[in-house]
Structure 1
Amino acid sequence: MSTTLAPASPTTSADALGTSAARARSAVLEVRIHEDPGRFRVLTGDRPTGRLHLGHYFGTLRNRVRLQDLGVELFVIIADYQVLTDRDIADDLTAHVEELVLDHLAIGVDPERATVFTHSAVPALNQLLLPFLSLVSVAELNRNPTVKDEIAHSRQSAVSGLMFTYPVHQAADILFCKANLVPVGQDQLPHLEVARTVARRFNDRYGDGTPVFPVPDALLSEAPLLLGTDGTKMSKSRGNAVSLAASADETARLVRGARTDSERHIVYDPAGRPEVASLLLLAALCQGRTPEEVAADIGSAGASALKRTVTESVNEYLAPVRARRAEYGRDRAYLRRVLREGNERARAVADATLAEVRTAMRSHY
């Protein structure tokens, strides 16, 4: 049984594989999901720092519903502890948690088939962080590019230990339920590689020939890059996103203020005209068409016609989501029940995993 850390850094495997190999692996996984969805368990989730928006929806949320509807077991974590990774306090946490539950119900996550839960309600999950930290070195965490980026954009007065151990905490999120599939974007591959490293090292050190944890696979998504209305990355904190909870009038106001350019003829040119291209892509996603087709319809009608098309497309697409959101929002007791029942299921899974870990580590007294 190994008693030393393997020499590879958390990012080495992802770097060696390359994104193209990861995408090839994802294509294979998609085939297997359709053949036998019951063999897969997915862990995914969000930090409760504000309402989810269209970037979240087309980037990750609708894929969660797709996997659920295919028959994959879905765990959705509301990572309330991780709010503290890049800010000194968690403002309006209870309200933000309920809003996330509401957003997920509105888009079609079914609490009868999916487990929606919070970090803070599952003590055994967080207890896994301690043995997992013993399996990675400080140097490995320091080299993680995602940690570096999080630190660079941190809103804390100083970098906290929680920020530094963020990838290992995510490993605990993934492995507590023995998820074997994690939908991620390319930028999250280094984080997932930490979870893969922790799983392998725990199995090598304590598995005694029988793996305790699966080594989770990345399911890379072709997430579209949608810019915010100011032409920068769409973000909750920048006020440049159309949230799923926005009204039709609020959507119209936000889109009217979106940055475009001075050229009247509308074409899809992501490199040369990124703001216009992002609006075209958004309309196309809502219409189920290509951005080029949307651009051809607008032609020389200019930015005002483009924004009108985007507004109408978004409002029509989100109408049923907003209707469900309003219906669920009238019953806050139901939201709390969904979360309570999800927390109970997650605790049962985490308790069983922690008991298995203690047995493997010979610390089950």
Structure 2
Amino acid sequence: MSAARARSAVLEREIRENPGRFRVLTGDRPTGRLHLGHYFGTLHNRLRLQRLGVEMFVLIAEYQVLTDRDAADDPAGHVEELMLDHLAVGMDPARTTIFTHSAVPALNQLLLPFLSLVSVAELGRNPTVKDEIAHARQSSVSGLMFTYPAHQAADILSCKADLVPVGQDQLPHLELTRTIARRFNDRYGAGSPVLPRPDALLSDAPLLLGTDGTKMSKSRGNAVALAAGPDETARLIKAARTDAERHIAYDPAGRPEVSSLLLLAALCQGRTPQEVAAEIGSAGAAALKRVVVEAVNEHLAPIRARRREYARDRGLLRRILREGNERATAVADDTLAEVRVAMKNHH
């Protein structure tokens, strides 16, 4: 068991005992509607933490869309879509602060002192930056992309979050945030820490494949969006890749596409994939897809109804975002003021 995993287990116990002492920052880039992979991967976990009584900050990271796209298409529309997805699954604006990068100047101002605390080599070593450089559609990588890990530290530390839910692959990101907080405190803290060193809360996101058998992704068009209607859902799932074997069994390594569909039905029904497989037996892929379509549509029905409800009142959406932005700004302003005082008093 890795150290991060062991630490997460301890944190989970502490959250259950005293949820009020934690503040979580999490978020998404507004590049389109969220899909079932996001729902079972991250939204579910956010909802769980909110229900437990943890204070939640959800960032709609629209500045980070600029890092790898020359011009974002309809950013305001994407921000509203992202809000609708969160509200539809049950995120409660009274307990969860939803905000955007562009509305919180203090957050972005923290980037300057933070950049002074990391080396160019450290930024370049960051796996996400390396990955983006390797896959960049542009011929070169922008400075904003390069500073992405320090900007993420500003996201987390501006609201003094002490917990960040991440997958295993994002651990190095958070490590840099912890390094920045530690170096700031060492250099400017005069014996008492100004910034928290946030912990990773490792989440076990179930691995759902897209309908083409590859990673589920907004840009690949292989995912069922939470906003999709029942007919579109049925069409997408019926077109999903399976294999030629009639007997349906849960075998993620040997039969990934069939197993991903079984897992999806199981997650929607609160059962195990093995139970779903046993029920279908030798009825084949068509029967499997029928079960999955029914399970997904039934599970998403109340979420879709809530989404339609919220979508009818754009004024309410804007008010929720305005109030979230005001709250996040107040918190970030306080943090920036503390950072400035600490830096000014440093001789």
Partner of 2:148: 166
Alignment of 1:247-262 (within 5 A): 247-262=229-244
**1:355 pairs with one of 323, 337, 342:** 337
Per the normalisation by structure 1, the TM-score is 0.93
Q: Percent identity?
A: 82
Question: Partners in 1 of 2:60 and 2:114 — Cα distance?
Answer: 21
Question: Partners in 2 of 1:59 and 1:139 — Cα distance?
Answer: 32
**1:57 pairs with one of 28, 36, 39:** 39
**2:21 pairs with one of 30, 39, 47:** 39
Deviation at 1:157, TM superposition (A): 4.0
**2:98 pairs with one of 116, 133, 136:** 116
The AA in structure 2 aligned to 1:140 is: E
Query: Quick check: 1:38–1:72 contact (8 Å CA) kept in 2?
Result: yes
Question: Partners in 2 of 1:154 and 1:341 — Cα distance?
Answer: 36
Query: Quick check: 1:49–1:83 contact (8 Å CA) kept in 2?
Result: yes
Deviant stretches of 4+, over 4 Å: none
**2:211 pairs with one of 210, 216, 229:** 229
The gaps in structure 1 that reach 5 residues or longer are 1-18
Partner of 1:281: 263
Partner of 1:13: none
Query: Quick check: 1:279–1:310 contact (8 Å CA) kept in 2?
Result: yes
Question: Partners in 1 of 2:231 and 2:140 — Cα distance?
Answer: 40
Alignment of 1:8-19 (within 5 A): none
SS of aligned partner of 1:194 = helix
The AA in structure 2 aligned to 1:223 is: A
Query: Quick check: 1:88–1:157 contact (8 Å CA) kept in 2?
Result: no
Partner of 2:284: 302
SS of aligned partner of 1:361 = helix
Partner of 2:194: 212
The gaps in structure 2 that reach 5 residues or longer are none
1:332 aligns with 2:292: no
1:293 aligns with 2:275: yes
Partner of 2:296: 314
Deviation at 1:155, TM superposition (A): 3.3
Query: Quick check: 1:124–1:354 contact (8 Å CA) kept in 2?
Result: yes
Alignment of 1:96-175 (within 5 A): 96-175=78-157
**2:325 pairs with one of 337, 343, 353:** 343
Question: Partners in 1 of 2:90 and 2:306 — Cα distance?
Answer: 9
Partner of 1:83: 65
Please give the per-residue CA displacement for 1:17-63, whole angstroms capped at 9, x wherever unaligned: xx721111101000000000011000000000000000001001011
Deviation at 1:69, TM superposition (A): 1.1
Please give the per-residue CA displacement for 1:282-332, whole angstroms capped at 9, x wherever unaligned: 011001111111111111111101111110000000011000000000001
Per the normalisation by structure 2, the TM-score is 0.98
Question: Partners in 1 of 2:207 and 2:138 — Cα distance?
Answer: 27
SS of aligned partner of 2:25 = strand
Please give the per-residue CA displacement for 1:224-283, whole angstroms capped at 9, x wherever unaligned: 011000011100011000011000000000001101111111101111111111111101
Partner of 2:52: 70
Please give the per-residue CA displacement for 1:144-173, whole angstroms capped at 9, x wherever unaligned: 122211222233342101111111111000
Query: Quick check: 1:88–1:155 contact (8 Å CA) kept in 2?
Result: no
Question: Partners in 1 of 2:124 and 2:73 — Cα distance?
Answer: 28
Question: Partners in 1 of 2:129 and 2:74 — Cα distance?
Answer: 25
Partner of 1:198: 180
Please give the per-residue CA displacement for 1:170-225, whole angstroms capped at 9, x wherever unaligned: 10000001000000001110111111111101000100001001100000011101
